[in-house]
Amino acid sequence: MTIADVKSDIQQKDKPIGRFGSRTWSRIRRDWQLYLLLALPLAWLLLFQYYPMYGAQIAFRDYKPGMGIMESPWVGLKNFEQFFHSYLFSRVILNTLWLSFYSLAVGFPLPILFALAITQLTGGLYKRSIQMVSYAPNFISTVVMVGIILQFLDIRTGPINILLKALGLDTINFMGLADWFPSIYVWSGVWQFTGFGAIIYIAVLSTVDPTLHEAAVMDGANRLQRIWYVDLPALLPTAMTLLILNMGQILNVGFEKTFLLQNTLNQTASEVISTYVYKVSLAAGIASYSYGAAIGLFNSIIGFILLFLANQISKKLTGNSLW
Amino acid sequence: MAFKIHAITVRPRNRIRESRVDRIFMGALYIGLGLVLLGLLYPLIYVVSASISDPSAVMSGEVVLWPVGFNLTAYETIMNYKQIWVGFANSIYYTVFGTLVNVVMTILAGFALSRKNLVGRNFFMFLFAFTLLFNGGLVPTYLLVHDLGLIDTRMSLIIPQAISVFNLLITVTYFRTSLPEELMDAARLDGCDDIQYLMKVVLPLSAPIIAVLTLFYAVGNWNQYFSALIYISKPDLQPLQIILRSILIQNQVDLSTMMDVQSYAARVSMIVLLKNALIVVASVPGLILYPFVQKYFVKGIMIGAIKG
C-alpha cells in the first residue's frame, strides 16, 4: 500500500457514503489483495478484448492509419453497403454457411456415436488403444494437418488416387476442384477431432446409474434399446449445450484450415468471411481497414444473434440453455 | 478430483446370457471400431512410409501402406535445413515463455474470480465471459497491436494471447469446486492474507489444474500460426508453423543443401519425400509426449464439463 492508498483509506473511514456503500467499501478494502491479483488480467482484458470492440467503430469511418480512430471521417454505413453490394457477398456468405452446416451436420453427431460405441466395450486393451489413437490427431497442428491432406490427395503420389487408378477409375485432382473442397474440409475434420470430441460424452455416460441398465436388461431390452432409451437421454443436456455453442460459431468457419487449404482453383468454394476479411485488410496491397472491420463486425453481430436464437429455441424445446 | 478415463466401465457384466441380437450387435461393433482404428492409423503410417521409401517408388505410386525401399536422404536434408531449426528454436521460445505468461495470468485471475467475497465478482465474470460471445474482430485487434509497437516483436505472439477465457473458466470452476471455504477460514485464523493463502495453500493444492493449463496452453502456443502470419515478417522470428507452411503448402523448398540431386524428376520426388519427413519431424515432439500427458487433457475436459 502506498501512502496515497492509506490516506484515501482514512478519508473513506471518516466519510461513510451511506450504509450500503460503506459496507461494500469496507469489504473491498479488506479484500484489496484480491483486486491486486486481478489487476493485471483485468488490464489485459480491457486492452486486448474491449479496446478492439471500441476500435470496431472504424467500420463506420474511413480509417486512415495516420489519423487514428477518432480523427478519421465518419461515413456511416458506407462500408457495410459496399460489402452487401459486392459481387462476392452472396458467395462468401453461402460458402460460410454451407461449410458450417456441413461441419455441424457431420461433426456434431459423430462424437456422440463414437462415445456410445466406445462405452459398449468392456475395458481391456482394445478399448484403450482405440481411445488413445482416436485422441491423438487432435494434437496435430493445422499446418501439418493440411500438409497431410495435400500429400494424401496428391494427384500423382497420393494413395487415394493410386487406389482409384488401381480400380481402373480416373484420378481426381481433389485440391483443384471447388466441388471437393467442402468434403475435404469436413471429413479431414472428422478424422482429426471425432475422438477428442467424444471424451466429454464418454465422461457423461460414465455417470449413468448402472441400475438403470440392469433394470432395462430385466425388462428384456437389448443393447440397442438400452442405448436409445437410457444412454441417449443422459447425453441430451450436454449435447444441447454444445450444439448451442456451435450455433454461435456458425459464421466463424476456422480461418486457419480454410486459408491453408485454399488455392486459386478451389476459391469459389473456399472463400469464407474470415479469409475475405484477411484478404481485403491485412493481406491487401492497399489495406482497406475500415472495410475489413465492417465485415468483421457484421460477422460478430450475426454470430451473436444466432447464438441468442439457438439458446432461446433450446430453452423452449428441451429446457437446456446457457443462460 | 481423481479422474481415470480408462476405468469408465460402469456397465456390469450381464448375468443373463446375451441375446442373439446383442451378440450380432457386439460383433458388428467390434468390427466397425476395428475399421475406425485402421482408418485413424492409416494416414499416419502412410506419411512415415512415404518419408523413408525410395523416392522413385513414391513417385511411381508403389508406396501405399508400407515403405518400399529405404532412404533417409529426406531426414538428412532436414538436419541441414537451417530455417527449420531456426523455426524450432523460436517455437520453443514462444511455447515456454508464452505458456509461463498464460499460466500465471490465468491462475491470478482464476483465483480472484473464484472467491465468493470478491465484491463485483459476477460483473468481472461477465466481463470475461462476454468476450467468448462477441469480439472486436481481426482488424481492430491488429491495429491495436500495431499501435502498441508490437509488430515484428516476439511479444506480439505472447501478450495479445495472454489469457484464453475458456481456460480461465475451467480454472475458476476448479478452484470453486476443489477449495472448500473452511480452508480459507482456517488459513485466515492462522494469519494468512489473500496473497499468502494463494502462495502457501492454494498453489500446492493446484498441481492438477496447473498441469492441465500448461498442456492446453503449450499445445496452443506450439501449433499457433495465424498470429505469426499477421504480426511477424522477420524470418529470424518466425515460429516453426510458418516455416512448415512455406514448405508443405506453398512449396517453397530450398534444396541447395542437397548435393546429389540434379535432375528435375529427382528433385520433384525428393520434395515429396521431404514433405512427408517434415510432417513426421514436426509431429515427433507431440507424439513422444502424448501418451504421458493424455490423461491431463482428459481431466481438463472433465473439469470444463462440470459447468460449461
Full DSSP string of A124-190: HHHHHHHHHHHHGGGGS-HHHHHHHHHHHH-TTT-HHHHHHHHTTPPP--GGG-GGGHHHHHHHHHH
Single-letter code of the amino acid located at B303 = I
- Asked if the model's pLDDT at residue B252 lies above 60, the reply is yes
Look at residue B304 in the predicted model and tell me its pLDDT: 66
Q: Does A243 touch chain B (CB under 8 A)?
A: no
- Asked if the model's pLDDT at residue B14 lies above 60, the reply is no
Q: State mean pLDDT over B281-299.
A: 79
A78-318: CATH, from 3.40.630.10, 1.10.10.10, 1.10.3720.10, 3.40.50.2300: 1.10.3720.10
- Asked if the model's pLDDT at residue B9 lies above 50, the reply is no
Domain boundaries, chain A: 1-50, 78-318
- CB atoms A55 and B143 under 8 Å: yes
pLDDT per position as a tens digit, B35-47: 999 999 999 888 8
Q: Does A80 touch chain B (CB under 8 A)?
A: no
Q: Identify the residue with better confidence: B251 or A42.
A: A42
CATH number of B82-237: 1.10.3720.10
Q: Would you write out chain A's pLDDT as a tens digit for each of its 323 residues?
A: 445 554 555 445 444 455 566 778 888 788 888 889 999 999 999 999 999 999 889 989 888 888 888 888 888 888 899 899 988 899 998 998 898 889 989 999 999 999 999 988 887 888 888 888 888 888 888 899 998 999 889 888 888 888 888 898 888 888 888 899 999 999 999 999 999 889 889 888 888 888 888 888 888 888 888 888 888 998 888 888 888 777 767 777 778 899 999 988 888 888 988 888 888 888 877 888 999 999 989 988 888 888 888 888 888 877 777 77
Domain boundaries, chain B: 82-237
Q: How far, in Å, CA of A209 to CA of A198, rounded?
A: 19
Question: In the structure, what pLDDT confidence band is assigned to residue B8 with cuts at 50, 70 and 90?
Answer: very low
Look at residue B259 in the predicted model and tell me its pLDDT: 52
pLDDT per position as a tens digit, A9-52: 544 544 445 556 677 888 878 888 888 999 999 999 999 999 99
Angle, CA of A228, A234 and A238, to the nearest 5°: 120
Mean predicted lDDT score pLDDT of chain B: 84
- Residue A57: partners with Cβ closer than 8 Å, 6 or more residues away: A69
Q: From A298, A226, A250, select the one nearest A108 (Cα to Cα).
A: A250
Across the interface, of A127, A148, A224, the residue whose CB is closest to B43 is A148
Please state which of the ranges A48-57, B160-169, B180-189 shows the lowest mean pLDDT: B180-189
Interface test with A, best of B64, B139, B213 (most A CBs within 10 A): B139
HSE (CB half, 13 Å, CA atoms) of A182? 18
Look at residue A5 in the predicted model and tell me its pLDDT: 52
Look at residue B308 in the predicted model and tell me its pLDDT: 41
Residues for chain A: how many in total? 323
Look at residue A111 in the predicted model and tell me its pLDDT: 94
Question: pTM for the complete prediction?
Answer: 0.84
Q: Which residue of B has its CA nearest to A216?
A: B14
Residues of chain B with pLDDT > 90: what percent?
30
Look at residue B35 in the predicted model and tell me its pLDDT: 92
- CB atoms A223 and B118 under 8 Å: no
What's the grid cell of residue B63?
Answer: 508406396
Residues of A in contact with B252 (CB under 8 A): none
- Tell me if residue B124 falls in helix, strand or coil: helix
Cα A172 to Cα A155, A157, A176, A180, B275, distances in angstroms: 6, 12, 9, 10, 21
ipTM of the complex: 0.84
Residues of B in contact with A210 (CB under 8 A): 10-12
Q: Does A67 touch chain B (CB under 8 A)?
A: no
Q: State mean pLDDT over B224-236.
A: 91
Distance from the A48 Cα atom to the nearest Cα atom in chain B, whole angstroms:
6
Look at residue B206 in the predicted model and tell me its pLDDT: 87
